Amino acid sequence: MLQIEPVTLSTDRLTLRPLSLADVPALGIAASDGELWEKKTTTVPRPEGFEAYVQKALELQTAGLALPFATVVNDGNRVVGSTRYMNIDAANHRVEIGTTWIAKSWQRTFVNTEAKFLMLRHAFETLGCISVEIRTHARNDQSRAAIERLGAKLDGILRHHMIMPDGHIRDTATYSIVREEWPAVKAGLERRLTSI
């Protein structure tokens, strides 16, 4: 059984620390960078919705179903988004990395790659996961390209998987990395992180 406890993961440039209600104002500011709530392929609340967003994340954590993080750029200790382990399947040693969003000015920088590296390394090397899943809206080409650059393999498309806040029906692209693939994925990520 996986034992998933709150943890801080960090590099010289980035820290993933346990999400708390104290992060609500900073999350609202980060989401305002690019008005992320307007994007049809993700679900990010408006600034006034972050108290409920964090509260729900902490309830899922208490239930053992999620472990949410604030994504913090170390230079200036700036909260630039959030991510989490979710759909935790402790009996089968599986987690999903998801509910990831990053302020627009920090997208396509080191932030996403470094965060995924930290979470994948912790999942495989500390938690002992046999598989890590990553999902995204099938129409989110930017996210799908980023997931594929990590070295994840497409498992398939979950058709009519969920109803988005604006009412449209989302097909979900489901990717995974399995334990045997991690050494090669890790080496690739380490190479990429030295160049961005």
Give the CATH number of the domain where residue 128 resides. Answer: 3.40.630.30
Neighbours of 101 (CB within 10 A): 24
Which of the 8 DSSP states describes residue 196? -
Question: How many separate domains does the chain show?
Answer: 1
Within a domain: residue 78? Answer: yes
- Name the pairing type of β-strands 14-18 and 66-73: antiparallel
Whether the pLDDT of residue 63 is over 90: the answer is yes
Average pLDDT value over all residues in the chain: 95
Quick check: is 66 in a domain? yes
What is the tens place of the pLDDT at every residue in 104-141?
A: 999 999 999 999 999 999 999 999 999 999 999 999 99
4, part of any domain: no
Q: Is 171's pLDDT higher than 90? A: yes
Reduced 3-state DSSP string for 19-62: CCHHHHHHHHHHHHCCCHHHCCCCCCCCHHHHHHHHHHHHHHHH
Residue 3 domain flag:
no
Burial of 46 (0-12, 13-18, 19+ CB in 10 A): middle
Percentage of the residues of the chain whose pLDDT score is greater than 70: 99
Confidence of residue 40 (pLDDT cuts 50, 70, 90): confident
Range of the domain at 177: 9-193
pLDDT: which is higher, 166 or 83:
83
pLDDT recorded at residue 165: 83
Contact 33, 27 (CB under 8 A): no
Q: Is residue 71 part of a domain?
A: yes
User: Residue 59: pLDDT band by 50, 70, 90 thresholds?
Assistant: very high
Residue 2: inside a domain: no
pLDDT of residue 41: 77
Q: Is residue 166 part of a domain?
A: yes
